[in-house]
Structure 1
């Protein structure tokens, strides 16, 4: 089925619809966090302890790691669009298994399969969005990936909240079954949207690529200046990369690429080591440690955190292309480190070892002021992430690479996200159960380390086309990231069109061969 040109004429519609793929990750986060103190869930799966629960949660990011690596082949072989459709199909399969699971093994297998879907979507959706949007709005569009994750968390959590009033296993099976609906919508809806113009050019479908660019950025006009600029720029890049030989993983090791690969992988690593997913997956444990033990009150407090996560992502989406990537990352890492140290300090000062539901826990008791302070600091931490690191961690890797290595490099960056996500899902429950408040100091320190790394190594990429970003990394001073000026890599229409001839009247004119191109 071909795409609908009327729908494709709006890049916001095209880019935002693909974000449903990011929402699948959000659905999974709260599908787990919402059942950690669900009596029916605990009974069905034989009251999993910290290590067992960590393994169940980690199954999804482990599958996502495999899915993200698969994008290194799928994105370049079958295309960005078909990979997104495949992700939706795989999610439905995983959700069916989870919904029907009767033991831990079946649940883990279902979560691994769902994880593969999330890995596919989280790697390919930012690539797709970055390749269909103009530079002026690219950051805004790719950051919608993070917003869709927050919406997935929020929606699924309220579904869990409502179903918590149902007795028996239906209280968690119904939410796990309902999460199939967005994936079905994603796979069917993507049939009506265009393939990435860069992928089309790379596979020899030049005329179709020009039409897609015209529909997206020129109201269907193939002679629009922006459309011509993008088309020629992408085409020249594709032709250049073809002269360098077939695509392979060895391309990632060619001069100029290793540093960019590490930057993309590192920013995704830091987004996990910031501690945000700890606050999402294990928010029940965090608030229990703060002294909030009532199940209903815990659910309400959790939902406030998820609402703030959604709301505070909005300013980032609106202003990401004005504020720039570096200021957002630097500000966010400092703030997140500060709030986590406060949480750890409050826990250390006012908490003590006790027992809750038969488990040994470090918790604050009989100190409502300290309890409220920990909850507020947790909220402020989430707000700091939502308005800074959250959206930029998806936007930045999608902007770094040339077309030849983009699919493989972005998938590796996303795979690093899932590798650290998997590790943290395993270690956080036992960590909270053994070193307690020191866990927050560890993640706070990671944030300050990220600040130093970003300050010295991450150049600004805001407002540049993907081909202009390529020029940044050809500069001899790229390791002095703070010296990259806004004019580095900037190109005009004359820069990318074929060489012009000087007319007798002194005016530049494009030769006939160029015009036919």
Structure 2
């Protein structure tokens, strides 16, 4: 089981996940505030409607663009200086972005702040799940890494409830500036907690520090009943041997795409984030305020519904994380794809038919199916996709593989959000037909290509990708007192075979 120290480490790291959710959610929250729209002239009605639509698109889209580049930068940094120190630098960048955003006096300054915040958000989506996967035991990794998805959506919920409170503020400038400044709180908290956090054992071993890794493994995975620290010794031996096996191969960027097994992992990571974004979840959430307004729900009523929507998502992300190690990642994602496709296929015609009308029953039904959509998406796809992306890569390429995976998330998020602003003023809810079609296709593809990963250690994951002859795994028998040393590895290793 996961001991108390490990749980505290996991929760501390997930403050970065919360930071991402809060930063992302603040954008949707302030777009519905009159003070913000007045100050920057971003009302979608009137003679400046075209300008307002493009600026709203830039405000959200450039955040995702920053996240795209931030994914690669912070993944490189996590390999270069360690997961712990990269987490600290990420927090500083996020803090700078939040300060610039909060004190903005013109739209250019505001967008610059969002780009910097987006850059940090790339790290917030790469480092926490990677860190959590590298300090977790195999049997609880789904639940542990699932904290990223839960805390991310908890941050979203916090942003939306704060936005609801801001609606009732009489100070039109303070209401949106305070929300943007709120992003600084988790950044500061993570900086403080980062001083205490350990470095991950796998990064330490990858960088020739196995003795330090063993000390950390003892703290993380011993439950008090193992006086000989047997589990920690076995884990250290397995990690050391796997890294030795992996070192036989070219580990450059080009080689990751040239070698069949690593290429398959990267393509799988790209596909998972592609279908996650192609459900249309960010569009449905990001422009939900406009959709609710078209259905006759305006002001605080719309903000209340969105806040309840995201809170429900956070609860379900927590439930999904708890189920992952029992039900399995593949099963959860397939269920999610079916459920979200059906829910969106019903929500869309209702929104098209009753949007802008006076039929309250029709509008209510459209909102109800939005909630059904998130009921499937949150526990089955949202939380699961981050766990899956963090665990399918070997240690030497985990940061880079996860960078490509998360960059895919930001790339398609930026494309869908940017185009949705134009689509919402031209074809409205008909835009969702694209996501319904893509999700149906993605289910068929996922059914045939997604392997199940539950229960395997990170080192054993290679078995799923045709590396059976190059995978280190622990023996069930006893380990000698000196087996934690680099020269003596207590693992079963099958002879390496040439890949075809």
On whether the aligned pair clears a TM of 0.5, the verdict is yes
Counterpart check, 1:294 vs 2:298? yes
Quote the residue 1:224 is aligned against: 229
Instruction: Give the C-alpha shift of residue 475 in structure 1.
Output: 6.2
Any idea what SS the aligned residue of 2:456 has? Answer: coil
Quote the residue 1:65 is aligned against: 68
Tell me the alpha carbon deviations over residues 304-325 of structure 1, each in whole angstroms, 9 at most, x when there is no partner: 1112111111211211100101
CA distance in 2, matches of 1:313, 1:452: 24
CA distance in 2, matches of 1:249, 1:98: 38
Q: Which of 248, 266, 271 is the matching residue for 1:266? A: 271
CA distance in 1, matches of 2:487, 2:329: 40
Kept in 2, the 8 Å contact 1:222–1:228? The answer is no
Tell me the alpha carbon deviations over residues 30-75 of structure 1, each in whole angstroms, 9 at most, x when there is no partner: 2111122322111111225222211111111111111101134212
Instruction: Give the C-alpha shift of residue 492 in structure 1.
Output: 4.0
Quote the RMSD (CA, aligned, Å).
2.7
Any idea what SS the aligned residue of 2:30 has? Answer: coil
Any idea what SS the aligned residue of 2:393 has? Answer: coil
Instruction: Give the C-alpha shift of residue 204 in structure 1.
Output: 0.9
Quote the residue 2:110 is aligned against: 107
Counterpart check, 1:117 vs 2:120? yes
Quote the residue 2:441 is aligned against: 449
Alignment of 1:249-398 (within 5 A): 249-289=254-294, 291-348=295-352, 350-351=353-354, 363-398=355-390
Quote the residue 1:135 is aligned against: 138
Alignment of 1:391-410 (within 5 A): 391-410=383-402
Instruction: Give the C-alpha shift of residue 495 in structure 1.
Output: 8.9
CA distance in 1, matches of 2:410, 2:466: 30
Any idea what SS the aligned residue of 1:34 has? Answer: helix
Structure 1 residues 512 and 326: alpha-carbon distance in aligned structure 2, compared to 1, 3 A threshold: closer
Instruction: Give the C-alpha shift of residue 335 in structure 1.
Output: 0.6
CA distance in 2, matches of 1:43, 1:512: 64
Any idea what SS the aligned residue of 2:172 has? Answer: coil
Quote the residue 1:486 is aligned against: none
State the number of aligned residues.
478
Quote the residue 1:37 is aligned against: 32
Tell me the alpha carbon deviations over residues 118-163 of structure 1, each in whole angstroms, 9 at most, x when there is no partner: 1012111111111100001111111111111111011111112212
CA distance in 1, matches of 2:212, 2:379: 37
Counterpart check, 1:180 vs 2:184? yes
Structure 1 residues 365 and 423: alpha-carbon distance in aligned structure 2, compared to 1, 3 A threshold: same
Kept in 2, the 8 Å contact 1:72–1:412? The answer is no
Quote the residue 1:24 is aligned against: 19
Instruction: Give the C-alpha shift of residue 511 in structure 1.
Output: 13
| TM-score (norm: length of structure 1) | 0.87
Quote the residue 2:246 is aligned against: 241
Alignment of 1:398-477 (within 5 A): 398-474=390-466
Counterpart check, 1:154 vs 2:157? yes
Instruction: Give the C-alpha shift of residue 497 in structure 1.
Output: 7.1
CA distance in 2, matches of 1:301, 1:264: 33
CA distance in 1, matches of 2:479, 2:37: 64
CA distance in 1, matches of 2:4, 2:489: 25
Tell me the alpha carbon deviations over residues 365-407 of structure 1, each in whole angstroms, 9 at most, x when there is no partner: 1101101100100011111111100111100011111112111
Instruction: Give the C-alpha shift of residue 247 in structure 1.
Output: 4.5
Instruction: Give the C-alpha shift of residue 467 in structure 1.
Output: 0.9
Instruction: Give the C-alpha shift of residue 329 in structure 1.
Output: 0.4
Counterpart check, 1:493 vs 2:475? yes
Any idea what SS the aligned residue of 2:195 has? Answer: helix
Any idea what SS the aligned residue of 1:19 has? Answer: helix
CA distance in 1, matches of 2:173, 2:151: 28
Counterpart check, 1:209 vs 2:213? yes
CA distance in 2, matches of 1:462, 1:453: 20
Kept in 1, the 8 Å contact 2:351–2:429? The answer is yes
Quote the residue 1:501 is aligned against: none
Gaps of 5+ in 1: 1-6, 352-362, 477-488, 499-508
CA distance in 2, matches of 1:439, 1:193: 45
Structure 1 residues 511 and 75: alpha-carbon distance in aligned structure 2, compared to 1, 3 A threshold: closer
Kept in 1, the 8 Å contact 2:6–2:135? The answer is yes
Instruction: Give the C-alpha shift of residue 219 in structure 1.
Output: 4.2
CA distance in 2, matches of 1:475, 1:304: 46
Kept in 1, the 8 Å contact 2:474–2:490? The answer is no
CA distance in 1, matches of 2:272, 2:489: 42
Gaps of 5+ in 2: 43-50, 492-500
The answer to which of 28-37 and 300-309 deviates more is: 28-37
Instruction: Give the C-alpha shift of residue 278 in structure 1.
Output: 1.4
Structure 1 residues 192 and 181: alpha-carbon distance in aligned structure 2, compared to 1, 3 A threshold: same
Kept in 2, the 8 Å contact 1:341–1:444? The answer is yes
Any idea what SS the aligned residue of 1:85 has? Answer: helix
Any idea what SS the aligned residue of 1:92 has? Answer: helix
Kept in 2, the 8 Å contact 1:99–1:176? The answer is yes
Structure 1 residues 9 and 207: alpha-carbon distance in aligned structure 2, compared to 1, 3 A threshold: farther
Kept in 1, the 8 Å contact 2:13–2:190? The answer is yes
